[in-house]
Amino acid sequence: MPLGLYGSEVSSRFLLGTARYPSPAMLEEAIREAGVDIVTVSLRRESLGIDGTQKGSGQAFWSLIRETGARILPNTAGCHSVREAVTTAHMAREVMGTNWIKLEVIADDMALNPDVFGLVEAARILTEEGFSVFPYTTADLGVGERLLQAGCQVLMPWAAPIGSGQGLSDINALKAYRQHFATTTLIIDAGIGRPSQAADAMEMGYDAVLLNSAVARAGDPVLMARAFALAIEAGRAAYKADPIEPYLGAMPSSPLTGMASLS
């Protein structure tokens, strides 16, 4: 079943970041091997001009992304204030021609924690201005509620700090988040390091996984992109198949009736 996002549908539940790949060619191959429909792009990193022109390496990057056919989700990465994030979103809309925005408002440069107060305020401003906001947030239920009240239709809680590869650092909190926001589209964003961790998130019932470093920094980014695509697909299928619950003790898989009697 396709994934619905702000009135659009995509077939892949894998969203891939585009930063820090060994080469543009490897980025392009990883995108194709992953089969993703959406890629995230940092406006600043690509040096795109606010007049709609592309300059220097940004022009080549823009052409590469267009050739893959993937939809772009601009990112306010590196923004530390509401004003900075909102301004960057405006630039992204003008340059990239989309109302979609992955909203990041960072509290500190050490752990890259979301500034949840600034995040909610920026989300409110941007939704009122017609943006479709994808907020990078924590697994705090209260913050999630406020983001929904601000107009967000999608929530993107982190698994762990950005680029850490720690995986699902607080499984109980993420399970509670999924249960609490039962009808909201939830995308795990940041901290995933291995395909098995992505599969675990999907088995919990999360709707999609967004990651970057786990693919870009792998020894073979292209092979890792495929591994994540398979893991996310498998995790979703497992969730839909309704896995058995853990049982204390053993439960025989073979029937006991019809066994030979030795008496």
Q: Give the catalytic positions in this structure.
A: 102
Residues 6+ apart with CB under 8 A from 181: 144, 148, 155
Backbone angles phi and psi of 216, in degrees to 5: -60, -35
| CA separation for the pair 65, 247 (Å, rounded) | 48
Backbone angles phi and psi of 241, in degrees to 5: -80, -10
Which candidate, 139, 143, 129, 140, places its Cα nearest to that of 168?
139
Sign of CA dihedral 217, 190, 85, 54: positive
| CA separation for the pair 236, 165 (Å, rounded) | 21
* 9 CB burial (10 A radius; 0-12, 13-18, 19+): exposed
Backbone angles phi and psi of 75, in degrees to 5: -130, 135
Q: What count of Cα atoms within 13 Å lies in the side-chain half-sphere of residue 43?
A: 30
Which candidate, 50, 113, 129, places its Cα nearest to that of 80?
113
Name the percent of the chain in helix, strand, coil, to the closest 5. 40, 20, 45
